[in-house]
Amino acid sequence: MFQESLQRLNRRSLQIPKKTPLLIKNCGMCWFIGNETQLSSHVVMTPRQDIEMLGNKPAFLDNNANVNPPSREEEFPALMEPDPVADSTERARRGLVEAAAALEDLVGLSGGQKKLLRGYLKEVRGIYQALGGGSPSPQRYAQLARMLRDRRLALGMSLEALGKRIGVSASTLKQIERGVRPPSRKTLLLLQKATELELSLEGFLTEQGSLSPGAALNCYIAPGYEPVKMVMELSETLNGPGGYLEQTSAYLEHQSALQYLRMANDPIYVSAFRGRPLLERAADVIYEKSRGAGIEMIALGSGDAREEVRLAQHIVARMEIPDLRLYLLDISQPLLSEGFKHAADVFCNQHGVSYFAMQANFHHMERYPQLHYTPERSHRRRLVSMLGGTIGNLDNELKFFKYNLVGCHSGDLLLMDFQLAYASTTEPDAIRRCDPLLSGAKPQGHRSREEWLGSAIWRHCRDVTDVTFHYELLTNSAVPGSYSVEIVATVLGRVREPRRFSLFRFRRYDAVQLSTCLSGLGWEQVADYPRAYPHGGGDCTMIFRKRNKS
């Protein structure tokens, strides 16, 4: 069923005639889709696509027939065996690109040392090319010079006016147009902002050290992921006598994802749960503990990825040579598309940062070998992030950390945030009295939350006439000191008896006991940032590091 769905979805986007066989190749870790010829160039999703998954426009995985097959170093990095030599070479090339950019700036600023600095710049470029780094040919620079001059004159714009428009001196632009000097990467990026020139600079920017967004595989669908089947099962459950819904069903469909995004981006919600300065403090700790190594940031349940991208920005800002790979993993295709698009908007011109999307279930993380690597060989550190209360989506936290993160090694980091308990689990009456979800106080935003969670019922139930919600306390949690507030919907119908569905669970934790449990599983706490609410409870962000095996 999954393969048939992919065939229907991609035949139009790949421009394959109806009578031509459409092949779907399962390579163990992802699906490649196309005809016999197109399979050689793989399926790619470019950051510059307009991925409007929440509107009326359908979005497809595009296969760009004009893009050459990605080279080994351009592919999804963790799909290959770690290669220490290749990793070190790539880091050296990145450092040389940064050094060349800095020297170019110094040449423009210094007075009597220009000749000496140009000599250094030539040596750095020579070393970069010796390590396999390419550069555009002189003919291409000459073509760019002619194009820039022609477009500028056609617009009736002087060198001084263009220089003022983009922030580059007129003398620099004159030298570029005359072919005396090639433009630096910084100048190319500034020229790109002058959209009225309509310059195509993609090849120049990518050949100066940045991968082309469309040249590398950056989106993966995990084997066994069948969203159509999952929606069918959701519909069957909601039309049954009642039951328990796994939490991810609240984000699965496009309509549910849209309502969640509206709620999550409400100014009140953002001020309460997003944009907190503690991410900067967390980035300080992560950078310090990574000890200068490159970082593989695996964002579980990333959603729209606002917090994950912001954290990645803070980490990269602290690196002398940016070296971060961001893997966004989510079961919700519409949310993942939004998150990936946001990451592309932020990092498309950021040197040293790669970003990938994985449409998968993080409960099955141990099945995805592309996220497993050996940091001792590759000189990298993994950072697993669970932001936005993702830990509360786990049915059994201890089982997850014990069996699903088996690929983590000594020195890897774990970042999570969660809600704090309002009272001890030994005093359930105190919890009911203090927790606003149980006390009947109707906390702010409860109406939009219930509309979000109940939307699937109205779409799928055939004879629904009304839906009411109530909240129940569950204290039988895997982590000592934690409890759940379960949202239960009672569905009334025209003919059928009232039915009850457990839709969602909000988990609260005792920070000390949670830390103790993770310590027993080999994760030592290195930082925590608790925040108390005015009327009790609160939230906390914690960072853990994997210990050496004893």
pLDDT for residue 144? 82
Contact between residue 209 and residue 188 where contact means Cβ atoms under 8 Å apart: no
Residues 354 and 499 in one domain: no
Residues 374 and 480 in one domain: no
pLDDT for residue 281? 92
| H/E segment holding residue 84 | helix 84-109
Contact between residue 431 and residue 423 where contact means Cβ atoms under 8 Å apart: yes
Which pLDDT band, with edges at 50, 70 and 90, does 108 fall under?
low
pLDDT for residue 294? 87
Determine, yes or no, domain membership for 176: yes
Which CATH number goes with the domain that contains 291? 3.40.50.150
The residue among 11, 37, 67 that closes a domain is: 67
Determine, yes or no, domain membership for 103: no
The residue among 46, 67, 88 that closes a domain is: 67
Give the mean pLDDT of 117-133: 77
Asked if residue 105 has pLDDT above 90, the reply is no
The residue written with tokens 């409890």 in the block is 483
Give residue 519's region: left, alpha or beta (phi > 0; psi -120 to 50).
alpha
Residues 14 and 24 in one domain: yes
Tokens of 443: 């906390």
Determine, yes or no, domain membership for 155: yes
Residues 143 and 184 in one domain: yes
Residues 262 and 284 in one domain: no
Helix/strand/coil for 296: strand
The residue among 21, 50, 67 that closes a domain is: 67
Asked if residue 156 has pLDDT above 60, the reply is yes
* Residue 355 Cα distances to 160, 344, 347, 413, 543, angstroms: 38, 7, 8, 19, 22
User: 441-480: b or e for each residue (b if 16 or more CB lie within 10 Å)?
Assistant: eeeeeeebbbebbbbbbeebbeebeebeeebebeeebebe
Q: What is the pLDDT of residues 166-222, one digit of tens each?
A: 888 888 888 888 876 777 777 877 787 777 887 877 556 544 444 333 345 578 888
Q: What is the pLDDT of residues 53-77, one digit of tens each?
A: 333 333 333 333 333 433 334 444 5
Residues 410 and 302 in one domain: yes
Residues 465 and 532 in one domain: no
For the chain, the average pLDDT equals: 77
Question: Of 328, 325, 273, nearest to 300 (Cα)?
Answer: 328
Most confident of 48-62, 88-102, 461-475: 461-475
Residues 410 and 284 in one domain: yes
Residues 290 and 357 in one domain: yes
Residues sharing a CB contact under 8 Å with residue 206, sequence separation 6 or more, in sequence order: 212, 215
Tokens of 17: 């005639």
Determine, yes or no, domain membership for 341: yes
Contact between residue 130 and residue 202 where contact means Cβ atoms under 8 Å apart: no
Residues 310 and 409 in one domain: yes
Determine, yes or no, domain membership for 20: yes
Q: What is the DSSP string of 384-425?
A: EEE-SSGGGG-S-HHHHHHHTTTT--TT-EEEEEEEEPSS-T
Give the mean pLDDT of 33-61: 36
Residues 331 and 407 in one domain: yes
pTM: 0.65
Q: Can you state the angle between helices 84-109 and 114-130, rounded to 10 degrees?
A: 160
Task: Indicate the number of domains in the chain.
Answer: 4
Give the mean pLDDT of 331-360: 88
Asked if residue 118 has pLDDT above 60, the reply is yes
Residues 519 and 394 in one domain: yes
Give the mean pLDDT of 413-433: 94
Determine, yes or no, domain membership for 73: no
Determine, yes or no, domain membership for 320: yes
- Tell me the residue range of the domain where 398 lies: 272-423+510-546
Determine, yes or no, domain membership for 295: yes
- Least confident range from 92-96, 245-249, 380-384, 485-489: namely 92-96
